[in-house]
């Protein structure tokens, strides 16, 4: 499955000979399919041909300007915990994307082969496949054709969910394009969410649990645990706050009420939890090591990953701990385009085992005779330690792509969603077991009585439990670019960004809750000659640990980050979505316009 998304293949898909090199949006996406030499009745009544068609639904993900190089690197920034360093470049197209001031003519995005077009290409492929499987495949639960239909329904839901996450209301088409449906206006996202939730309900009856069949042995294939968890996520988002053309509010549709959607989410999460078919990895660091080692076995914590071949995908290229040159760990000197905000490290409890995995204060410097050393970079520059070339088993040599998958959902989210929904519907006592399970992994056994049991048991009100869950998402998910979506649905985006600006200001002056953060670090190298031994990162560590350590200034100014986490004069709550890019407005025959003041 690591070979699923390749950029140099030609896919035969129900009436379309689709080359991955096609980039003409109007010709390849808007026009109706041409007649194929193979009839749909043959393709979708033959398992192997149908499998190829289903795999082809995901092929657009790997296109240069699709998820690979545009959506994954830019969506989800900036938040109270994640900062994209391109926002330092004031006025640039990249900065506008992450600092809540994107324009329809953004030069990074305004191209006809952008992620928007690739998502709709994937949707069109899914529509053709779904029609073909329903007509010719007899897709029943427990059958190979049933598994394929469930996967196709889920892939389509993923594309639509990401479109709405980035753009709000979007055109919706659930049947293959005809001449009558080439040009469509926007559909209310409420309508789309209801359709996706129903589709995923059907898909969950069709696909197998992880490792239940040969089709669900890897996290690159759709399985029941992921479908149910994803359905729960969409239920929470659909009933949450978001920017509509008439303001920020919850949906007015009674079918998307908090009561109904939270109950659906809770039921789905409990089904996954009670199934025993997925679980947390024993240690947080162990999970991220397995991820970087490209362990794709199903049945653990990762529920589904966007699969990239070894020559495609830019997850580590974008987000890994920075490597300044080719060295002992990588032939691709990249990473480091984004990282945790400087306050996050100090918000963790010092005993939280997630802290040092998530927040890295060093990069790998220029190699000498092929060997690089870790070197401190300053309190204004942190890296996501969840992504590390040095944890890979494979030595990456590609110029631009690392081939590491993108985790779309893991089991930790199922626990947090269950906690949030149970708290709202049944009270904090019902939420406590799920939160405790997650925190138990985060702390050494000696700390669990205080930091797990006592901490959670003290959350005696719904409000206190909710606030703790918001914080737990931060500690668990920093660096996975889900925070923006969650802050929006909680109606906390602007609030948390402003809180972060205030916290950065306090850290900048070592005042308030950051008064005891040291201004000097001390370091030496361990016996291997390249691993840093650092003293002074923890609060209150102000003494000199000894003459074998060298001093490092830890007092770099944070003003630039404070001023660019969102663009001055912009209200992030009024910029929850990107605008539709101008090239698609121009090609819409007047059917599409931008909302939200664009």
Element (H, E) at 524: strand 520-525
pTM above 0.85, yes or no: yes
Q: Is residue 10 part of a domain?
A: no
- Interval 110-137 mean pLDDT: 97
Residue 329 pLDDT more than 90?
A: yes
pLDDT tens-digit map of 299-318: 999 999 999 988 899 999 99
Which residues are CB-neighbours of 416 under 8 A, at least 6 positions away? 434, 435, 438, 469, 472, 473, 476
Report pLDDT for 87. Answer: 80
CA 207/CA 300 separation, integer angstroms: 17
Residue 589 pLDDT more than 50?
A: yes
CA 450/CA 456 separation, integer angstroms: 9
Q: Is residue 335 part of a domain?
A: no
Report pLDDT for 310. Answer: 82
pLDDT-based confidence at residue 82 (cuts at 50, 70, 90): very high
Report pLDDT for 331. Answer: 97
Residues forming a β-bridge with 534: 523
Q: Is residue 492 part of a domain?
A: no
Report pLDDT for 311. Answer: 84
Report pLDDT for 19. Answer: 32
Residue 16 pLDDT more than 80?
A: no
Report pLDDT for 5. Answer: 38
3-state SS class at 365: coil
Q: What is the CATH number of the domain that holds 151?
A: 1.25.40.390
pLDDT tens-digit map of 20-36: 333 332 333 333 344 44
- Interval 482-507 mean pLDDT: 98
CA 140/CA 354 separation, integer angstroms: 43
Determine contact, residues 106/114, Cβ cutoff 8 Å.
no
Residue 4 pLDDT more than 90?
A: no
Residue 520 pLDDT more than 50?
A: yes
Report pLDDT for 32. Answer: 35
pLDDT-based confidence at residue 91 (cuts at 50, 70, 90): confident
pLDDT tens-digit map of 402-457: 999 999 999 999 999 999 999 999 999 999 999 999 999 999 999 999 999 999 99
Into how many domains does the chain fold?
1
CA 64/CA 7 separation, integer angstroms: 9
- Residue 55 belongs to domain spanning: 40-81+88-277+580-587
CA 421/CA 142 separation, integer angstroms: 30
pLDDT tens-digit map of 342-387: 999 999 999 999 999 999 999 999 999 999 999 999 999 999 999 9
pLDDT tens-digit map of 194-253: 999 999 999 999 999 999 999 999 999 999 999 999 999 999 999 999 999 999 999 999
Residue 18 pLDDT more than 90?
A: no
The pLDDT > 90 percentage for the chain reads 91
Chain mean position to CA 217? 22
The pLDDT > 70 percentage for the chain reads 94
Could you tell me where the DSSP H helices lie in 276-365? 284-292, 315-319, 342-347, 355-358
pLDDT-based confidence at residue 88 (cuts at 50, 70, 90): confident
Q: Is residue 504 part of a domain?
A: no
pLDDT-based confidence at residue 116 (cuts at 50, 70, 90): very high
pLDDT tens-digit map of 529-569: 999 999 999 999 999 999 999 999 999 999 999 999 999 99
Q: Is residue 343 part of a domain?
A: no
CA distances for 41 relative to 120, 150, 318, angstroms:
24, 19, 43
Residues forming a β-bridge with 11: 18
pLDDT-based confidence at residue 583 (cuts at 50, 70, 90): very high
> Whole-number mean pLDDT of the chain?
93
Q: Is 27 exposed, middle or buried (0-12, 13-18, 19+ CB in 10 A)?
A: exposed
Report pLDDT for 89. Answer: 83
3-state SS class at 91: coil
Q: Is residue 14 part of a domain?
A: no
Residue 17 pLDDT more than 80?
A: no
CA 181/CA 187 separation, integer angstroms: 13
Report pLDDT for 30. Answer: 31
Determine contact, residues 522/545, Cβ cutoff 8 Å.
yes
- Interval 41-65 mean pLDDT: 96
Q: Is residue 6 part of a domain?
A: no
Q: Is residue 431 part of a domain?
A: no
């Amino acid at each position: 499955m690591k070979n699923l998304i390749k950029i140099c293949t030609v896919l035969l898909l129900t009436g379309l000979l689709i080359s991955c090199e096609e980039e003409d949006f109007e010709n390849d996406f808007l026009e109706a399919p041409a007649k194929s030499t193979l009839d749909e009745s043959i393709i979708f009544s033959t398992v192997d041909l149908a499998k190829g068609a289903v795999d082809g639904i995901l092929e657009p993900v790997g296109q240069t300007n699709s998820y690979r190089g545009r959506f994954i690197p830019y969506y989800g920034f900036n938040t109270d915990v994640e900062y994209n360093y391109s926002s330092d470049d004031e006025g640039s197209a990249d900065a506008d994307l992450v600092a809540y001031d994107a324009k329809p003519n953004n030069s990074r995005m305004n191209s006809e082969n952008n992620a928007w077009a690739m998502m709709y290409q994937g949707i069109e492929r899914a529509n053709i496949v779904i029609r073909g499987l329903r007509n010719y495949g007899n897709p029943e639960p427990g059958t190979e054709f049933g598994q394929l239909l469930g996967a196709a329904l889920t892939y389509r839901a993923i594309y639509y969910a990401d479109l709405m996450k980035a753009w709000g209301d979007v055109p919706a088409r659930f049947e293959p394009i005809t001449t009558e449906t080439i040009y469509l206006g926007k559909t209310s996202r409420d309508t789309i969410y209801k359709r996706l939730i129903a589709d995923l309900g059907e898909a969950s009856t069709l696909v197998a649990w992880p490792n239940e069949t040969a089709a669900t042995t890897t996290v690159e294939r759709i399985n029941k645990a992921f479908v149910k968890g994803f359905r729960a996520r969409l239920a929470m988002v659909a009933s949450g706050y978001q920017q509509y053309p008439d303001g920020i509010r919850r949906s007015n549709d009674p079918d998307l009420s908090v009561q109904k959607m939270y109950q659906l989410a809770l039921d789905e999460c409990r089904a996954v939890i009670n199934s025993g078919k997925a679980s947390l990895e024993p240690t947080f660091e162990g999970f991220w090591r397995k991820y970087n080692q490209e362990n794709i076995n199903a049945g653990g914590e990762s529920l589904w990953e966007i699969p990239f071949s070894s020559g495609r995908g830019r997850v580590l290229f974008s987000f890994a701990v920075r490597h300044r040159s080719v060295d002992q760990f990588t032939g691709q000197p990249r990473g480091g385009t984004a990282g945790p905000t400087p306050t996050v490290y100090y918000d963790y409890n010092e005993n939280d085992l997630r802290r040092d995995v998530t927040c890295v204060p060093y990069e790998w410097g220029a190699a000498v005779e092929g060997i690089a050393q870790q070197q401190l970079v300053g309190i204004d520059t942190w890296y996501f330690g969840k992504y590390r070339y040095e944890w890979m088993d494979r030595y990456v040599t590609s110029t631009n792509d690392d081939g590491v998958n993108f985790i779309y959902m893991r089991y930790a989210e199922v626990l947090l969603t269950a906690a949030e929904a149970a708290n709202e519907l049944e009270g904090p006592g019902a939420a406590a077991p799920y939160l405790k399970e997650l925190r138990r992994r985060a702390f050494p056994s000696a700390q669990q009585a205080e930091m797990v049991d006592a901490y959670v048991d003290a959350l005696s009100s719904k409000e206190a439990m909710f606030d703790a869950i918001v914080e737990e998402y931060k500690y668990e998910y920093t660096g996975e670019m889900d925070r923006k979506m969650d802050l929006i649905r909680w109606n906390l985006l602007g609030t948390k960004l402003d809180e972060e600006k205030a916290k950065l200001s306090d850290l900048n002056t070592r005042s308030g809750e950051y008064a005891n953060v040291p201004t000097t670090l001390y370091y030496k190298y361990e016996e291997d000659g390249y691993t840093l031994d650092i003293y002074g990162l923890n609060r209150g560590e102000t003494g000199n640990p000894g003459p074998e350590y060298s001093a490092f200034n830890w007092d770099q100014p944070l003003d630039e980050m404070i001023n660019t986490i969102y663009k001055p004069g912009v209200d992030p709550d009024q910029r929850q979505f990107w605008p539709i890019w101008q090239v698609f407005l121009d090609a819409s025959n007047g059917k599409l316009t931008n909302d939200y003041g664009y």
